Structure 1
Amino acid sequence: MAASISSLLSLCCASTFPKQLAAPNSTVIHSSTVSRPSTVNAYASTTDAIFKEEGYFTRRPILLGIGALATTLIPASFGYAEEVPKNYEAFVDLSDGYSYYYPSDWREFDFRGHDSAFKDRYLQLQNVRVSFIPTDKSDIHDLGPMDEVIPNLVRHQYAAPSQRATIFDMQERTVNGKNYYTFEYELTSPIFSRTAFATISIGNGRYYTLVVGANERRWKRVRNQLKVVANSFKMLDI
């Protein structure tokens, strides 16, 4: 995903549409560089792995700047617009073949190793991020049965050795012939817990992962809002 400044400028000048598109009649505000928050030592030691992974930087500033101007070129008939629920915005990546909704008051930020990410403007750990890796598989079913794939993924890849993983729910959905696994899980350490939804899918020669979550203390208040985000993820043909 990383590219030189000259490559980004060449890409933007060669295409009428930007890599990221906001739904028509929407406003996307791009955040500036965000610093790691000050925390007490006990909290920092518990969440250090999270902040190391998140590595806040401004994401693709040149491409985003040009993209923000180019959103006015999106035709009014762009099919995604009427589907966006109230109080959400649509993030559409035509180059990498995916889309999803995020709360309209969230702001974009850089999450290290991820292709796109948005966070609550006040609560950094309340966020959504999407990543993908190449794969030779063609469908999520190629990984195996959902009740085997998800527990293995959460317990052995999402959870750190010091964390206890709990899976609350697993669901499968099919949209336009494309299959998705969405699941709710919690990772708990002695003094910190985080709960999240994740959606995984395979298409376009890529294994996509969307994770949207919050601090466990806020989960009951925001769960339904974040479930909309998890269920909105769709692969686009590229």
Structure 2
Amino acid sequence: MSKTWRALLAVLCALTLTACSGSTAGLNSFQSPDGRYAFLYPTGWTRVSVSNGPQVVFHDLINSDETVSLVVSEVDGDDNLSQLGSAVAVGERLRRDVIAPEGSGREADLVEARERDASGRTFYDLEFAVHLADRDRHELATVVVDRGRLYTLATSTNEERWPKVQNLFERVISSFTLLI
């Protein structure tokens, strides 16, 4: 094999490996049946049905307490995300009313709250440290409002696994897209 062919083969292999390690490597795509939204979830996770809970839930087969969930709530049709408050205000409300409501036995801290614009929409990305009686957990969430609906996509894991899955969970959260 000539040096030219070897060089060409080396470049081709490098390009193939680079393409495989892109931002969606290790992730599968989920799209709602009505075509309203889509997001990525980790490869090897399975969808589970939950009664009276989130609209969509995926969990890891190996670490079953690692989840991705989507809750869709109704809001005033004229509201946009900023009308619900700043990223910090919405994060604190989510912390207080959903993640660790009074009497739940859970405590939570809002670690970070930031605003992000994607595809002409405003998202609030939120990070929480959640303290349960027997363990600590870490949660990332993103929220967006569209056409009278508040979408909250959240990922959750135990604190010990957080350093290993942080980048993956950030990719999941930032993948949430409204399609209509």
Q: TM-score, normalization: structure 1?
A: 0.61
Displacement, 1:182?
0.8
Mapped partners of 1:126, 1:86: distance in 2? 19
User: What amino acid is aligned across from residue 70 of structure 2 in structure 1?
Assistant: V
Displacement, 1:96?
5.8
Mapped partners of 2:67, 2:147: distance in 1? 25
Displacement, 1:222?
1.0
Mapped partners of 1:103, 1:148: distance in 2? 29
Pairing 1:13-24 to 2, within 5 Å after superposition: none
Q: Please name the residue that 2:72 is paired with.
A: 132
Q: Please name the residue that 1:144 is paired with.
A: 85
- What percentage of residue pairs aligned between the two structures are identical? 26
Task: Name the SS of the counterpart of 1:217 in structure 2.
Answer: coil
Rg: which structure is higher? 2
Displacement, 1:204?
2.6
Structure 1 stretches of 5 or more lacking a match? 1-82
* More relative contact order, 1 or 2 (CA 8 Å, 6+ apart): 2
Aligned to 1:88, which of 1, 13, 27? 27
Q: TM-score, normalization: structure 2?
A: 0.79
Pairing 1:150-161 to 2, within 5 Å after superposition: 150-160=91-101, 161=103
Displacement, 1:157?
2.2
Displacement, 1:218?
1.0
User: What amino acid is aligned across from residue 140 of structure 1 in structure 2?
Assistant: L
User: What amino acid is aligned across from residue 145 of structure 1 in structure 2?
Assistant: S
Instruction: Tell me whether 1:117 sits opposite 2:60 in the alignment.
Output: no
Instruction: Tell me whether 1:212 sits opposite 2:155 in the alignment.
Output: yes
Mapped partners of 2:94, 2:138: distance in 1? 15
Q: Deviations over 1:163-190 (max 9, x none)?
A: 2211211121111211111111011023
Q: Please name the residue that 1:194 is paired with.
A: 137
Structure 2 stretches of 5 or more lacking a match? 1-21
| Contact persistence 1:101–1:233 (CA under 8 A) | yes
